[in-house]
Chains A and B, each alone.
Chain A
Amino acid sequence: MALRWQALAGYRLPKRGMHVTMKDKAAIVGIGQTERYRRGASLPKSMMDMAIEATLLALKDAALTVEDLDGFAFYGGAPADPGAMAYLMGVPHVKFAATLTAGGSGAAGSVGMAAAVINAGLANVCVSLFVLQQVPTGRFGGSSEGPRQIPAARGGGAYGGGGNVSPEAAFTAPAGVISPGHNFSMLAQRHMYQYGTKREHFAEVCISQRNNAMKRPQSMRQTPLTLEDYFAARMISDPLCLFDYTMECDGAIAVITTSTERARDLPHTPVLISGSGIGGTGDNAHLLGNFQMPDISFASAGARDVAKQMYAMAEVGPQDVDVALLYDHFSPMVLMQLEDFQFCPIGESGPFVAEGNIRFGTGSIPVNTHGGNLSDFYCPGMTHLVEGVEQLRGTAINQVEGAEIALCTGGPSSIPMTGTILKKDR
C-alpha cells in the first residue's frame, strides 16, 4: 500500500467546475553542484560528466536515487540530452523529458514545468539543471557572428536566399548588434532616456551583489567593488561597462523536484513551488533581436504578464516576497525586473535602488543575496534557484531572517520569460 500511495502522491483528479491549480503541490527537495570553474577550466571533464555529477549530488541531497528519477524538466536545452543522461546513469523509467524554449530565460520556469508535470501525474521526480563549459567553439551567450565570416563561410547570395542567413536577418544583422550585451545595452539606454536612470543605479546593483558575494567563500568574485572601480572600468557596449556584464564560468547545477506529499518524507524542509509564470506577450517576443517592442514595454524585462500570472497562482504579491533572486546577466535588467515584478513602479527602479532597497540586511527587498551571475557564479539562473532553496531551508550564508517566500526569475530574453515563487513549507 505504501508503494501505491507513493505512486499517486501529488496527483489529484480535477473535479468538475473546481479551480485547478498546481500551487504548493510540488517542492524542490534536492540541490547539487559540481566544483566551480573559471571559464574553460573544466576540461578535460565533459559537459555530460558535469551534468550527471550535479544530478547525482542533487539526488543524494534529496535522499533519492537514480531509480526514483523519472523526469527531465530542462530549459534552454540544459544543454544536455535527457536520453543520453538516462542511458549513462541507468534511469530505469523515463516518464517525461522536455526543455523550455529560448535560453536562460527559462531557469526559474524549469521547476514550474516540473511542478506542472508532477501535478499532472506524468512523472514523480524531476531533475532541472544547467551545465556550462565556455570553450571558444561553444559559448553560451557568445557573440553571434564574427565580422567578415558570414559571406565567406556560408556562401549563398544574390537574390537566391542565402546560406544560413535568412532574408529577414539581413535587415538587422549588418548593424553589428551581435551579442546579448549589445541587445540589452539598447534597452538600458532607452530606460535611461525615458526614466532618468543613471549609471550610478547600474553600479548599485553590481556593488550590492559584490558585497553579498564577498561574504560567501564559494563565490567567484571576492575583491571589493567601489563606485570608483565601477567608473574606472572600460566600457564594453556603452552604456554598459565591464562590471555590468555577467562573468562566465564552467560547471553544472541541478535541482530535484517531487510532489509535496513525498517531499514531506524527505530530510530537508520542502521548498514549495507556489506559483510559476512561463511566457510573455507576442509584441515583446523580440526582446533579443529586432527592437520592435511597443514604446510602453521597450525598456522592460518583458516579464509583466509572467509576474501577474505567477503572483496570482501563488496568491501572493510583491509585498510578501522576502528575498528576490533576479536573473542578472546584465545589471540594468535587474532594475527592469524590479519594475516588472512590481517591487517599484515602472520607471522608478533607479531611485529605488539608490535608496538602498536591494541591500542585504538593510533593504526592503534583498536582491541576489548570493551575489548573482555578476559576482557569485554564472550557471544561467541555477544559482538563483539554489539560493532560493537555501534561504527557505534557513541555510543561506546571507540568510534573510525568517524568509518564507522567495522569488526566482529567468533571464530576460526571448519568450518564454519565467518567474517562480518558492515558499517554505509549513
Chain B
Amino acid sequence: MTTPAIAFKHMPPPLFTDPYADAWTAPFWEATKREQLTAPRCKNCGAFRLPPSRWCAHCRTQEIEYVDLPGTGTLYSFIVVRHPLSPDAADYVPYIPAVVDADGAPGARFLSNMVDIEPEDVQIGMPLRVVWNHVSATLTLPFWTRA
C-alpha cells in the first residue's frame, strides 16, 4: 500500500484506511464524508454514548439515532507519544492522542488526536474545533485543533 501523505502536523501514524463499519456505525462515517460530526444518542432515554455500543447502559435498550454536532468541544485529557512503538511510527512522533468532550453530546467523549498545534501549547480545558482527515474513499477521520 502507498504511504499516506502527512496531511496535518503531528497527526498519528495511519493505522486504518477503512472504518470497518456495520449498520450500527455507518451513519457516523457517512456523515464524516460531508465533514459533519455526529454522535449516537439513545432513542429511548436520550443518553449519548461513544463508541456506539450495542446497549444503552442507562436504560438497557438498543436503538440509537445519530445527532449532528457543532464540531466544537473541550480538551479533557491528552498525551504526547514521543517514543515510536514501531519503526513505521518514527516519522509520526510526536503525536498527540486526545480525549475530547464534544459540544452537544454530554456524557460521551471522543478519543481522537490534536493536530496542527505544538505539544507544549496543548492544555486541558482548551476550546477545540474539529478538522477532517480524508484518508480514503471510505474513511474520513475527525481530528481536533485549537478553536
Chain A: CB-nearest residue to B99: A291
Contact A171–B50 (Cβ < 8 Å): yes
Q: Does B5 contact A (CB under 8 A)?
A: no
Q: What CA separation (Å) do A328 and B18 show in the bound complex?
A: 36
Measured CB to CB, the closest approach of chain B to A269, in angstroms, equals 45
CB < 8 Å neighbour of A186 from B15, B19, B79, B82: B79
CA distance A171 to B32 in the complex (A): 12
Query: Would B97 and A158 count as touching, CB distance under 8 A?
Result: no
Produce 1/0 per residue, A152-190, CB < 8 A to B: 100011111111011111111111111100100111011
**Contact across chains for A145 and B15 when beta carbons are under 8 A apart:** yes
**In the complex, what residues of A have CB within 8 A of residue B83's CB?**
234-237
**Contact between chains at A238 and B16 (CB < 8 Å):** no
B50 engages A290 (CB within 8 Å): yes
A146 touches B85 (CB 8 A): yes
Report how far A215 CA is from B19 CA in the complex, Å: 52
Q: Is there contact, CB below 8 Å, between B82 and A235?
A: yes
B52 CB-CB contact with A under 8 Å: yes
Chain B window 98-121, contacts with chain A (Cβ cutoff 8 Å), 1 for yes, 0 for no: 110000000011111100000100
Chain B residues within an 8 Å CB radius of A179: 85
**Which B residues are CB-close (under 8 A) to A187?**
77
User: Measured between alpha carbons, how far is A186 from B81 in the docked complex, in Å?
Assistant: 11
Asked if A174 and B88 make an inter-chain contact with CB atoms under 8 angstroms apart, the answer reads no
In contact, A147 and B15 (Cβ under 8 angstroms): yes
**Cα of A174 to Cα of B99 in the assembled complex, Å:** 13
Chain B: minimal CB distance from A380 (Å): 20
Whether the Cβ atoms of B57 and A148 lie closer than 8 Å is: no
Query: A170 touching B88 by the CB < 8 A rule?
Result: no
Taking a contact as CB atoms closer than 8 A, the residue among A151, A170, A185 that contacts B1 in the complex is: A151
Contacts of A171 in B (CB 8 A): 25, 28, 50-52, 110-111
How far does the Cβ of B2 sit from chain A's closest Cβ, in whole Å? 10
- Give the residue name and chain of the A residue nearest to B133 (CB): A174
Min CB–CB distance A347 → chain B (angstroms): 15
Q: How far is the CA of A179 from the CA of B84 in the complex (A)?
A: 11
A135 in contact (CB, < 8 A): no
Q: Are B18 and A162 in contact (CB under 8 A)?
A: yes
- Residues of chain B at the chain A interface (Cβ within 8 Å): 1, 12-22, 24-26, 28, 49-53, 57, 76-83, 85-86, 88-89, 92, 94-95, 97-99, 108-113, 119, 124-125, 138, 141
